[in-house]
Structure 1
Amino acid sequence: MSSTLAEAMPAAEPAPARTARRPLVRVLIALAAVFGVLVLLRAITGENTITSGGTVSTTLALGLPIGMAALGGLWAERAGVVNIGLEGMMIFGTWGGAFGAYFSGNPWMGLLMGLLMGALGGLLHAVATVTFGVDHIVSGVAINILAPGVARYLSSMFFLGEEGGGATQSPPLPEFPTVSVPGIAGPLRDLEDRHWFLLSDLAGLVRGLTTDLSALTIIGLALIPLTYVLLWRTAFGLRLRSCGENPYAAESLGVKVYRMKYVAVTVSGALAGLGGVFLAMVGTHQYQENQTGGRGFIGLAAMIFGNWRPGGLAAGTGLFGYTDALQQRGATGAVHALLLVVAVALFAFAAWRLLALRRAPATPAEVGDGHRRSRIYQAVAAAVAGALLLAWYLLTDELPKEIVTYSPHITTLLVLSLASQRLRMPAADGLRYRKGEAR
């Protein structure tokens, strides 16, 4: 069955040219390069917050809810269903986690309830889009509008009158256990405080990844490689992804397309709900109205930036979480220093677009003067923007407070604009499917 599907849709997922280890090697090289850039930036600017253990741990805390929303979007869209409702499903998760944890006194019951509430939101989206053929965007927006109202109503029913609770918040919630590697936090902190080149930076990285991690953080991080294995290394994953590439071909080969779409969108909602549980029970230890703050939409952007793949969305999540961490920790000097990194990245992008003109066209769409002009315009625009940012960095000592506050959102727009040239969404993503109506 699996080999037949793969032969029927060769364009959906091209086979790797070399070994299966190559993507992992590329990821490790990219991570090492990013860390090296940050180390150099820290050494040049003297902003020690850039690679501190506190910044690393805060990046995990702020990035994980975004990552869970992005992972939820990946599941849905790989099955061909656009999930704009991730924000609403996260809201369901925040309330469900608070309800389950408070009335049971057990944080794990809160996790279970948050997953269930998020999954119900995903199921609602699946019923509307898969069964009734409602436009995916309309259904997602409706869920985003519905969720805050439902959460307010339920809070008024269950939290109003409880000590510390109300119509817009829950009482304080029990906490998940934390995990640390014993015996290394102190020595790593001492080494980090010496501010030695690379060694202190590595100490900060390791300390942030091994000290006082919530159990929910570990679960969330483990779900990213688990998703890759399930969707790219199993027959189940092949069938699910075939529904997002060509559901009619998948149907002709015996795949239960409706069932796969329902499973994918329900899991999508549960993952977004997990992100909501993290916000309520790890981030603030209390449900609060509107605490998602648009993270569902940023998660959707991280998924698109990651080209609908787990490794890519993890990179996008880390980028958004890191810029948010610098802003939350009040590291205005570090945010200012990132102007230099962005300027260099824009120069590199411009050079890449110009060098691409020298290679032979890979597709018919790349033939012609129009395509060459497009690349030249992109390179010039990137170079000009890089020059302006470099001048801004050299002529100023700090950024306005408003720009620092919105640096994660600005980063979202910037990386999406740069990544748009290499994106390829699933071929049938967002299209209405009806069994037997082959096209």
Structure 2
Amino acid sequence: MTNTVIESPSPVTGPPGGEPARRRIPGWARGLLWAVAAIAVLATASYATGMDVLTSSNTANTALRLALPILLAGLGGLWAERSGVINIGLEGMLILGTWGAAWGAYFGGSVWTGLAAAILFGGLGGLLHAVATVTFGVNHIVSGVAINLLGLGVTKYLASLIFEPISGNPRQSPVVPKYDTYSATFLSDWLGDIEAMQRVFISDAAGLIRGLITQVTPLAVLALLLVPVSYLILWRTRFGLRLRSCGENPVAAESLGVNVYLHKYVALAISGGLAGMGGASLVLLPGGADYLENQTNGRGFIGLAAMIFGNWRPGGLLGGAALFGYADGLQLSGGGEAVISLLYGVVILLIVLVVLQLFRKQWLSALLAAAGAGVLYYIYWSNDALPRDLIPYTPHFVTLIVLAVSAQKLRPPRAIGRRYRRGEGD
């Protein structure tokens, strides 16, 4: 009798007799490589077009402030959709957060009471979405749209009831406290000197980094910390595993003793609270307005797009929020000329993509990328600046382009959007 030995695949060498398996690059390392590549592209575009504003510290600082509501809304969407619930209502929860932040900060006399009120109002919106979708089985899209409309209506009524007697304007709150800002003074001054030298790449990197460590608010630090915290909770804890199982296969999760309803409710309450924080960032950060009607300007939907761009992962979401925040900040800092110059950088990226796709023998993708590069370069060459009427919509254009490019590689949770009833099978 012959004993047969079955060899198990090695994590390094792969299956017996096969080719060595590729080592996966850690997520933090991939993020660092993408950051270096982005700086290189922006530096090249800045040098070629003469637009220093592309990598200035002012642009980076403005981009950070404008990326916060997108990042927090996207994190809210991540928590909801990882539990299997589509959250189109992020925009409405952002709106509720803006009103709650102004109300809490004005009557509480502190930015922290404003932040707490924003989280509370956003969380209530998330719980209402949970009642509709989880308990009553309402279609997730229909419920989300209703939350958006409800957020608009409720805040409009509350503003006319509470703010109008004080501010004299039913669409605006009275002046509310703002967060203090902090800077790493020594490092900021040193990076400012390097930025002023106008050395290719070095000065560009110094300008972008300086913008991220100058006049930073505690809310910005808290929002950035929530990215790794969300990853650790959702991917490194038992609770996170159970929550994600509700979005992948709730029936199987139920059979293993997971309370699917409870986890979905918790996820949506957290989702609404994070979106409420995003609304607070529009009201409580210095340089921003107090509460204004419709001041979210679609950032809840852009946050949802950033989450999809990030493939329902916190790290990718951070990159998407940075991209959209940068596009928004650039049009404020540099106007239409800077936005047109950014197209030069996009052309560079597409040329690199063409080379990579040719190397992989992906002929159709290479052809489409080359055609896109040609069209964008023609737009850049034939226009000195983006038309003034289109400038405010720069982040929205970027959203559409990014979603169109990244749509082929998405992997959403398997059970997302499905109606779940306890005790029912697949």
- Measured after TM superposition, the shift of residue 215 of structure 1 is 1.1
Alignment counterpart, residue 378 of structure 2, candidates 391, 400, 418 = 391
Partner of 2:421: 434
**8 Å Cα contact 2:83-2:416 kept in structure 1:** yes
Partner of 2:265: 262
Q: Which amino acid aligns with 1:336?
A: I
Normalised by the length of structure 1, the TM-score is 0.88
Q: Secondary structure at the match of 2:344?
A: helix
Counterpart-to-counterpart distance in 1, 2:370 and 2:201: 30
Partner of 1:174: 177
Partner of 1:11: none
Q: Which amino acid aligns with 1:403?
A: L
Partner of 1:339: 343
Matched, 1:190 2:193: yes
**8 Å Cα contact 1:173-1:285 kept in structure 2:** no
**8 Å Cα contact 2:39-2:205 kept in structure 1:** no
Alignment counterpart, residue 126 of structure 1, candidates 110, 125, 130 = 130
**8 Å Cα contact 2:196-2:203 kept in structure 1:** yes
Q: Which amino acid aligns with 1:409?
A: H
Equivalent residues in 2 for 1:4-15 (5 A)?
Answer: none
Alignment counterpart, residue 155 of structure 1, candidates 159, 164, 169 = 159
Counterpart-to-counterpart distance in 1, 2:115 and 2:22: 41
Equivalent residues in 2 for 1:298-337 (5 A)?
Answer: 298-337=302-341
Alignment counterpart, residue 236 of structure 2, candidates 226, 233, 237 = 233
- Measured after TM superposition, the shift of residue 24 of structure 1 is 1.2
Partner of 2:96: 92
- Measured after TM superposition, the shift of residue 400 of structure 1 is 2.1
Q: What does the per-residue CA deviation read over 1:272-300, in whole Å, with 9 as the maximum and x for residues that have no partner?
A: 00000000111524101000000000111
Counterpart-to-counterpart distance in 2, 1:403 and 1:156: 32
Of stretches 397-406 and 325-334 in structure 1, the one that deviates more from structure 2 is 397-406
Counterpart-to-counterpart distance in 2, 1:194 and 1:331: 24
Q: Secondary structure at the match of 1:429?
A: coil
Q: What does the per-residue CA deviation read over 1:209-235, in whole Å, with 9 as the maximum and x for residues that have no partner?
A: 111111111111111111111111111
Q: Which amino acid aligns with 1:394?
A: W
**8 Å Cα contact 1:302-1:316 kept in structure 2:** yes
**8 Å Cα contact 2:54-2:342 kept in structure 1:** no
Q: Which amino acid aligns with 1:110?
A: G
**8 Å Cα contact 1:174-1:285 kept in structure 2:** no
Q: Which amino acid aligns with 1:382?
A: A
Counterpart-to-counterpart distance in 2, 1:98 and 1:245: 38
**8 Å Cα contact 1:305-1:316 kept in structure 2:** yes
Counterpart-to-counterpart distance in 1, 2:369 and 2:185: 47
Counterpart-to-counterpart distance in 1, 2:380 and 2:255: 58
Counterpart-to-counterpart distance in 2, 1:260 and 1:20: 31
**8 Å Cα contact 2:44-2:345 kept in structure 1:** no
- Measured after TM superposition, the shift of residue 344 of structure 1 is 2.9
Count of paired positions: 405
Q: Considering only aligned residues, what root-mean-square deviation do their CA atoms show, in Å?
A: 1.8
Matched, 1:411 2:398: yes
Q: Secondary structure at the match of 2:425?
A: coil
Alignment counterpart, residue 26 of structure 2, candidates 22, 25, 40 = 22
**8 Å Cα contact 1:74-1:309 kept in structure 2:** yes
- Measured after TM superposition, the shift of residue 18 of structure 1 is 7.5
Q: Secondary structure at the match of 1:340?
A: helix
Q: Secondary structure at the match of 2:327?
A: helix
- Measured after TM superposition, the shift of residue 394 of structure 1 is 2.9
Normalised by the length of structure 2, the TM-score is 0.91
Counterpart-to-counterpart distance in 2, 1:393 and 1:198: 22
Partner of 1:106: 110
Counterpart-to-counterpart distance in 1, 2:212 and 2:320: 18
Counterpart-to-counterpart distance in 2, 1:407 and 1:159: 32
Counterpart-to-counterpart distance in 2, 1:205 and 1:124: 40
Aligned sequence identity (%) = 52
Counterpart-to-counterpart distance in 1, 2:44 and 2:296: 34
